[in-house]
Amino acid sequence: MKVILLFVLAVFTVFVSSRGIPLEEQSQFLEFQDKFNKKYSHEEYLERFEIFKSNLGKIEELNLIAINHKADTKFGVNKFADLSSDEFKNYYLNNKEAIFTDDLPVADYLDDEFINSIPTAFDWRTRGAVTPVKNQGQCGSCWSFSTTGNVEGQHFISQNKLVSLSEQNLVDCDHECMEYEGEQACDEGCNGGLQPNAYNYIIKNGGIQTESSYPYTAETGTQCNFNSANIGAKISNFTMIPKNETVMAGYIVSTGPLAIAADAVEWQFYIGGVFDIPCNPNSLDHGILIVGYSAKNTIFRKNMPYWIVKNSWGADWGEQGYIYLRRGKNTCGVSNFVSTSII
């Protein structure tokens, strides 16, 4: 493999040197292709290289922003480094903006005595309530992964059994809608959706299938193939959680992992640390799952509090598929659209 890579590098160096492209960038691009098994046609090769070079500048800028904000956030070359910002948004984010409407049910605030008694750190992964990180692929179905993650947790807590549930069942079959200011926001497979709609579908449908019986394809199917014989979990209702991070922590401890929406535009090149740089809390374009919370010492701060957030971009992104979001500052709108199903 190394011999082939060296040969390709030599050929590519000759090809681009006449165009004034720095050797360092050539080398980085070839290493990127090798690491992430990227294959390009002749026509798209130089286009991807130009995007990659531009993204190197963005990564450097993001790391400088993190330093200026005394943040622990780290950005670097990852598998999304050959995508433009628009491509990243179209492929991996949700085009259905999550908005907390007045007609959504809201849970009560928890008792102060209970809130004051919750542990300083809590992680449902260590308690068996969280399935391995999944990968939505180039499909705007994050909302379905956020939903299944929550229902998987609720089912585990209720039945003491962890069952991986089918996102494809939701992508193909769920067409529920919610209204906001006279307009409808409907679940549309790879074209986006919302967790409350998905909960309503599961309730009306009598359950959701297992992942093994209805596997994920990263495409919106032409028909719904739901089979009630393969239901993996049922729910009876759902509720939104008050927009308060202290209350959220209490509900995580008492109830289980919570489905959320957040602004993930700046997550494209995230590779680790606690995300604590400016983002837009009023543009919730990605569905994810909070599985716990903790704190850590960083270069700049002691006991930096953070949320443990399960993403759906594969285990080869971020912190083994997770992102840590600064807790207590409504980072990226983390507390603006929080929900849980009810068994």
Choice among 155, 286, 332, 336 that is catalytic = 286
Choice among 55, 78, 139, 142 that is catalytic = 142
Q: Which amino acid is at 92?
A: Y
The Cα-based distances of 177 to 157, 194, 195 in angstroms read 28, 9, 10
Smallest CA-to-CA distance from 290 within 339, 328, 243, 237 is with 339
Choice among 150, 200, 311, 336 that is catalytic = 311
Phi–psi pair at 291, nearest 5 degrees: -110, -5
| DSSP H stretches of helix in 37-135 | 42-68, 85-92, 112-115
Per-residue tokens: 57: 């500048």
Q: What is the torsion angle, in degrees rounded to the nearest 10, for the CA atoms of residue 216, residue 193, residue 225 and residue 290?
A: 50
Smallest CA-to-CA distance from 91 within 277, 317, 339, 334 is with 317
Q: Is 286 a catalytic residue?
A: yes
How many whole angstroms separate alpha carbon 45 and alpha carbon 26? 12
Q: Is 311 a catalytic residue?
A: yes
Q: Which residues are catalytic?
A: 142, 286, 311
